[in-house]
């Protein structure tokens, strides 16, 4: 299984809403004590644990699919899971989906183009701005102080659910671990 977290490389983006996928991958790297794999053609930070791979593409969001397809093809991986931010869900929501549309998310557009839509999506709700014209600045903004209080628990819950995907179907994981929003907000 290849588990991908979408985000943008660099410290300027590390704590932004768009990087919630990277944050979950960082948690999984720690949880599984994953070993780094260095190969520049992967265009990303790749780690291995057991027979599974964790990937943070370093291509920037709009080109994420280039990194994903490179790793997928090199290791001949069929089972891909992509963790990403989702504007259409309230902050703290966690949903699972197989295939489907990209909803305007450029990282998913790139992924769909390079590997088709046949992958499991882990959708992490970040809420949405008041006006549509603010989407780009919103996804690249940091979480609020109140939201930041809940990020560690949300990331832990998501990493736990994602780690179950190796043994259980995504439908079973979704039925047990999906959530509409954080209870505290």
CA–chain centroid gap for 42, Å, is 17
Calpha distance 49→29 (Å, rounded):
8
Calpha distance 92→35 (Å, rounded):
29
SS (H, E, C) the chain: CEEEECCCCCCCCCCEHHHHHHHHHHHHHHHHCCEEECCHHHCEEEEEECCEEEEEECCCHHHHHHHHHHHHHHHCCCCEEEEEEECCCCCCCEEEEECCCCCCCHHHHHHHHHHCCCCEEEEEECCCCCCHHHHHHHHCCECCHHHHCCHHHHHHHHHHHHHHCCCCCHHHHHHHHCECCCCCC
Is 18 an annotated catalytic residue? yes
Catalytic residue among 18, 84, 105, 177: 18
Please list the active-site residues.
Answer: 18
């Amino acid at each position: 299984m290849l588990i991908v977290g979408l985000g943008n490389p660099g410290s300027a983006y590390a704590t932004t809403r768009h990087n919630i996928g990277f944050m979950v991958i960082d948690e999984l790297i720690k949880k599984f004590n994953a070993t780094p794999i260095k190969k520049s053609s992967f265009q990303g930070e790749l780690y291995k644990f057991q027979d599974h791979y964790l990937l943070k593409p370093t291509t920037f969001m709009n080109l994420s699919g280039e990194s994903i397809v490179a790793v997928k093809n090199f290791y001949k991986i069929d089972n891909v899971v992509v963790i990403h931010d989702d504007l259409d869900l309230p902050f703290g929501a966690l949903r699972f989906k197989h295939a489907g549309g990209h909803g305007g998310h450029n990282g998913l557009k790139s992924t769909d183009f390079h590997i088709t839509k046949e992958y499991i999506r882990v959708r992490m709700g970040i809420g949405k701005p008041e006006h549509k014209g603010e989407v780009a600045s919103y996804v690249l903004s940091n979480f609020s102080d109140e939201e930041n209080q809940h990020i560690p628990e949300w990331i832990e819950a998501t990493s736990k659910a994602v780690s179950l995907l190796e043994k259980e179907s995504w439908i079973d994981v979704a039925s047990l671990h999906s959530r509409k929003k954080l209870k505290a907000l």
